[in-house]
Amino acid sequence: MRNALTVLLALAAGVLLNAWWSGRSAVPPQASPAVAASAILPQDLADPDTTVADVERWPDQAPTPEQVLYAQPRMMRQALAELGPRAPGRPNLYLLTFAGDGGEDVFRNEAEYAARLFTRRFGPGTHSLVLENNPATLSTRPLASWSNLETALDGLGKAMQPDDILLLYVTSHGSEDHQLLVDMDPLPLDPIGASDLAGILALHPFKWKVVVINACYSGGFLPPLRGPGTMVLTAARSDRSSFGCGSDADITYFGKAWLVDALNHSDNFADAFTRARNDIAAWERQDRLTPSEPQIDIGSGIRDQLGRWRKGLKPGPTVPFEPRAPAATAARVQ
């Protein structure tokens, strides 16, 4: 039912957005900006906070919103086809990164860096797929959306063997009621809550998985995600903010501490988390911030399975963090 509704909403949004894209002359000259916005993008087809400026900041060189929506099945097939063959004889690691908020480059930076880090440093037995919302990658990366997440997990489930490990790395803004922001205005994308993510994962047969939620209040995701064969890392307690996002940031505190600083020196995820948690606490004390207190839960069996993945692994050289150039956008306010 949800998939059918998503398709209908996408079709309706595509038609309306395409009408706007083709020329604003269809809006009566005397119409106020508020009237024009309601004619272009009804509230039930987008984030209720979407404004005319959000619509008009769509990048000049990008495909139209309708083209982006209709390209998703093809882009997902291509991304899954590029995973590469399994390394035989040992568990493989499959990394799926999800950068939810398209309004800040920090999340794109982190998702793409994680993919580079894991595939370059941890060798041919590591595979990556990036889902992200960012104006600069609308024609090159699949969107980070609920539907694409399900499609990616379906595809990974077919590619992986029972002893392989899924690593899901999610980075976005989080809310006090434990919802992840999934946003690429003006596209109609659904937020993902803690129980939603747990339900999505429960529908897929991954015996071994590591789930990393890098967002404010992300500790609220830990209870529904914990279980046998699962390691859960979160950037904050359920009632605390995490830090380092924003339009002027390149990478979050947690992303820098766990990905850049810790995993460039260790292939043990739990040990890297301990180092990251200590580094974050020191940075927060220095900046006089309320401690975020990152959380970890290690279910039965996953520590040993990660040890089997590391067996015989010869980590490559450190992978420097290099933020991507920001997307070029141009407002169409006339």
* The pLDDT value given to residue 1: 44
pLDDT of 123 reads 87
pLDDT at 157: 96
The per-residue pLDDT for 248 is: 84
Return contacts of 187-190, CB within 8 angstroms, 24+ apart.
Answer: 187/13, 187/46, 187/65, 187/68, 187/69, 187/143, 188/9, 188/10, 188/13, 188/45, 188/46, 188/47, 189/47, 189/133, 189/143, 189/145, 189/146, 190/6, 190/145, 190/146
Task: Round to whole Å and give the CA distance between 276 and 259.
Answer: 9
| pLDDT score at 52 | 46
**Domains of the chain by start residue, with CATH:** 2-23+30-65 (no CATH), 70-310 (3.40.50.1460)
The list of the chain residues with pLDDT below 50 reads 1, 3-48, 52-53, 328-334
Q: What is the per-residue pLDDT for 55?
A: 52
How many CA atoms are closer than 13 Å to the CA of 315, on its beta-carbon side?
13
% of the chain with per-residue pLDDT over 90? 74
pLDDT score of 21: 44
The DSSP code sequence of 54-106 is HHHTS-TTSPPHHHHHHHHHHHHHHHHHTT-PPPTTS--EEEEEEE-BTT-HH
Q: What is the pLDDT of residue 312?
A: 82
